[in-house]
Each structure stands twice: as structure tokens, then as C-alpha cells.
Amino acid sequence: MDLPHHGYRATKPRARAAPPAADSVLFEDTSSVGPAMNSQGYYTPGYNMEGASNIQEGPGMNNLFADPMASAAMMYGSSLANQGKDMVNKEISRFMSVNKLKYFFAVDTRYVLKKLMILMFPYTHQDWEVRYHRDTPLPPRQDVNAPDLYIPTMAFITYILLAGMALGIQKRFSPEVLGLCASTALVWIIIEVLVMLLSLYLLTIHSDLSTFDLIAYSGYKYVGMIFVVMGGLLFGSDGYFVALAWSSCALMFFIVRSLKMKILPSLSSDSMGTGSSAKPQLRLYVTAATAIFQPIIIYWLTSHLVR
């Protein structure tokens, strides 16, 4: 895959889409096949019921469809459920593309384990390049460098639960505190993503980082936060600071190496004339600022939990 020209690379040249069902290499999507088959299996015995020819059904289905009202009600209910599902899908797809979101949740256990290892110990990881397959990025199942949204979501929820537990240990718990903690963390992520988007726009950095990518990279700090809070709970104040130092260094390294590939371009020889001397510096500042912001926010959001 070669870039058409270097001067003005298009923003987001590749769309991340869940490929259609024919391309089963990238993404097995069995959600649409399963219920259709089930409802097919349920419909046909219901139609044949009046003819009293229950022979073709298995013995387990007889008592379900002996009552015509129950089968009619089940058919009606399933058609209502399908209508509701279609309506919800249509409304949601007006705001965000569900296919792009599906890409970020295509993970498996091996990927999650490797990614967590990289997040906590990124110093031995060699190859940080995101791999592509015919112009679309590979889903996280096949590429350990691809960002995903599963780990940040789970880490966010775990962080909230851990915060509740830490406050409960210190007898400072009340149910409102959980909601407050959750919304504070969410607001900080929103602020960080907005600042990143603003800086990417103002400095005219044409990278293929979408909004979901930025949310993913911002959400990886929750893994560090969980580690820090666990260290603080298990080993007291000393353990808290040691864990904070460790996870800050690891996260800063991870963010710099990951964003360097996306933001700082591979500078070719025919880059633009006068502006190019300032551009790599500004991009470096953006990457460095993002990295510096991580330990600050980790400290801010966890220090009140571990006194």
C-alpha cells in the first residue's frame, strides 16, 4: 500500500469497518445468524400445529406448542422485539457508526493478556507498528498494537469498584461517592479527548487517529490507576508511591511509542518548505504533553483514595 503523495495526506484514509459476512478472516460475526435460525426453527412448527402433524418436531417441542395461544404470543413477542431492535439500531447509527465501534471490541483473551503486559512493562516490546490488511487496520484480535475499547471500559468499571472498596475500607463510603467518582473520571477523559482533538486540529496534524482511537489511548491510563490503587491498598503509602512511579513511567513510555507512529510522520525528503521546521517540534510537544498529562491525572484521581 503506497501513499499517493506526501504533501497532503488525507485525514483518516482508512475506514475501520466490520467487514461483511463473506470475509470471515477478520471478524466472525455470528450475531445475525443465530437468532434467525432459532426463529426459523420456532416458526415452522407453529404453522404446522393445526394439522396435528407434530411428528417432525422433536419430543422436546411438543409441550411448548400444544397451546396455540402460547405459540402465537411468542411469535408476536419476537416480532415486537425485532421491531424494537431495528428502531434502536437506526437511532444509534445516526450518532455513531456501530461498525466502527464493533472493530474496537473484537478482542480475545490472548490479546487482552498481551496488551496488559505491554501496558505495565512496555520496555521489551519491539514492534509498535499497527499492521494493516488491504487498507483497513487489523482488528485487535490479530494485531497486538491496535487500540481497543474493551480494556479501557473494563478498567474504568474496575477502577470505580476499587474506589468504592478503598473508601469503604476507610469507612468513608456512601453510594453518592461512587457516582461522583465515576462522573469525575469520565469528565476528565472527555476533557482530555477534546483537548487532543483541538490540538490535532489547530496544528493541522493529519493523522488517522479517530475519536475512538483517542478515547482508547486515554482509557489505557485506568489500568495504571488500578495498579496504583491496589499498591496503595496492599502496601500503604510507600507502596502507593512506588506503584505510582512505576506505572507513570510505563504509561508515558507506552503513550509516546504508540502516538509517535501516528502523529510524527516518517519525514520524507520532499516535505513542505518553510513550515516544516516548526512542525516536528510542535508534534513532539503534543506527544510529550499527552505523556506528561497521564501521571498527573493518575495522581489526581487516586490520591484521595489512599491516605
Partner 1 sequence: MAFTLYSLIQAAILCVNAVAVLHEERFLSKIGWGVDQSVGGFGDEPGVKVQLMNLVRSVRTVMRVPLIAVNSVCIVLLLLFG
**Judged by CB, which is closer to partner 1: 198, or 292?**
198
**Judged by CB, which is closer to partner 1: 187, or 289?**
187
Please, are residues 149 and 105 in contact by the beta-carbon 8 Å criterion?
yes
- Residue 282 C-beta: closest distance to partner 1, Å: 8
Of 191, 187, 194, the C-alpha closest to 211 is 194
The residues, ordered by sequence, that sit 6+ positions from 102 with a Cβ below 8 Å of its Cβ are: 18, 27, 29
- Residue 224 C-beta: closest distance to partner 1, Å: 20
- Residue 48 C-beta: closest distance to partner 1, Å: 54
The residues, ordered by sequence, that sit 6+ positions from 163 with a Cβ below 8 Å of its Cβ are: 177, 178, 181, 229, 305
Residue type, 30: T
Tell me which of 87, 272, 289, 292 binds partner 1, using CB under 8 A. 272
User: What distance in Å separates the CA atoms of residue 220 and residue 153, rounded to the nearest whole number?
Assistant: 9
Is position 83 an interface residue for partner 1 (rule: CB under 8 A)? no
Please, are residues 107 and 141 in contact by the beta-carbon 8 Å criterion?
yes
CA 189 to chain centre: 13
**Judged by CB, which is closer to partner 1: 128, or 188?**
188
CA 48 to chain centre: 46
**Judged by CB, which is closer to partner 1: 72, or 191?**
191
Is position 292 an interface residue for partner 1 (rule: CB under 8 A)? no
- Residue 281 C-beta: closest distance to partner 1, Å: 12
Is position 303 an interface residue for partner 1 (rule: CB under 8 A)? no
User: What distance in Å separates the CA atoms of residue 223 and residue 298, rounded to the nearest whole number?
Assistant: 10
Residue 148 phi/psi, 5-degree rounding, is: -135, 165
Is position 275 an interface residue for partner 1 (rule: CB under 8 A)? yes
Is position 300 an interface residue for partner 1 (rule: CB under 8 A)? yes
Contacting partner 1 within 162-221 (CB under 8 A):
180, 183-184, 186-188, 190-191, 201-204
Residue type, 96: M
User: What distance in Å separates the CA atoms of residue 226 and residue 302, rounded to the nearest whole number?
Assistant: 9
Is position 4 an interface residue for partner 1 (rule: CB under 8 A)? no
- Residue 198 C-beta: closest distance to partner 1, Å: 8
- Residue 152 C-beta: closest distance to partner 1, Å: 18
The residues, ordered by sequence, that sit 6+ positions from 242 with a Cβ below 8 Å of its Cβ are: 231, 235
- Residue 130 C-beta: closest distance to partner 1, Å: 25
Instruction: Summarize as ranges the residues that interact with partner 1 (CB under 8 A).
Output: 7-8, 180, 183-184, 186-188, 190-191, 201-204, 272-275, 279, 300
